[in-house]
């Protein structure tokens, strides 16, 4: 795909409103992508704060994620280095405990079209259940914890991760091995990849 066609694709996504009738705050697709990205963050969907700012991971989850990756704000928000492609591009509204699930229309309509253009990605950070279902599918273990524990099976192209949300503080306290054992390897891989850009 030519640069003009890729730019046109991203423009189409940014103006997408296919699930407008299901979005409590209306459509506002939020993503960050360039065809030269080395790292892909496959998350869930923007939260309310991110919907308001229009900046992906512009919240406490983002602060923790940048810390986990060892990236500065400038590095994290450099689309030539880091692509951010959530499963749903718009804020889906509140759910029973946290936000509602990502709307499925985004992945069906856009995901493969964008992923097919990201040929330089060397690491996909797979964050949360919906991204795990899409990117790891039947390769997952019986639950998130076991899938994250088995991270070496997906390495070095993919890393399953818990969501960096403060809602996961209890999980992180119960599973200190994640930050002790996995985060240093992620940071080293991230440094290597972005050093080439």
Structural domain range at position 182:
3-195
Assign residue 186 the CATH number of its domain: 3.40.470.10
pLDDT over threshold 90, residue 123? yes
Q: Which two tokens stand for residue 67?
A: 């810390």
Q: In total, how many domains does the chain have?
A: 1
pLDDT over threshold 70, residue 6? yes
What would the pLDDT profile of 134-174 be if each residue is shown by its tens digit?
999 999 999 999 999 999 999 999 999 999 999 999 999 99
pLDDT over threshold 90, residue 196? no
Backbone angles phi, psi at 149, to 5 degrees: -60, -30
Torsion of CA 67, 68, 70, 73, to 10 degrees: -50
Q: Which two tokens stand for residue 23?
A: 């979005």
What would the pLDDT profile of 20-65 be if each residue is shown by its tens digit?
999 999 999 999 999 999 999 999 999 999 999 999 999 999 999 9
What pLDDT, on the 0 to 100 scale, is given for residue 1? 80
Q: Which residue has the tokens 């992906």?
A: 56
What would the pLDDT profile of 70-106 be if each residue is shown by its tens digit?
999 999 999 999 999 999 999 999 988 788 999 999 9
Question: Collapsing DSSP states into helix, strand and coil, what is residue 158?
Answer: strand
Q: Which residue has the tokens 């991204």?
A: 131
CA 193 to mean position of chain CA atoms = 17
Point out which residues pair with 94 in neighbouring strands.
99
């Amino acid at each position: 795909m030519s640069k003009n066609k890729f730019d046109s694709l991203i423009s189409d996504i940014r103006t997408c409103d296919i699930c407008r009738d299901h979005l409590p705050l209306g459509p506002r697709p939020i993503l960050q992508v360039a065809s030269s990205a080395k790292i892909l963050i496959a998350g869930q969907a923007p939260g309310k704060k991110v919907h308001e700012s229009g900046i992906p991971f512009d919240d406490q989850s983002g602060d923790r994620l940048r810390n986990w990756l060892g990236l500065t704000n400038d590095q994290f928000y450099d689309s030539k280095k880091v692509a951010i492609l959530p499963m749903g591009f718009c804020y889906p509204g509140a759910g029973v405990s946290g936000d509602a699930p990502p709307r499925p229309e985004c992945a069906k309509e856009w995901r493969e079209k964008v992923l097919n253009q990201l040929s330089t990605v060397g690491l996909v950070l797979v964050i949360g259940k919906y991204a795990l279902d899409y990117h790891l599918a039947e390769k997952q273990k019986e639950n998130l914890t076991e899938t994250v524990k088995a991270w070496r099976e997906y390495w070095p192209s993919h890393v399953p991760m818990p969501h960096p949300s403060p809602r996961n503080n209890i999980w992180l306290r119960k599973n200190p091995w994640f930050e002790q054992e996995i985060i240093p390897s992620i940071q080293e891989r991230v440094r290597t990849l972005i050093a080439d850009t």
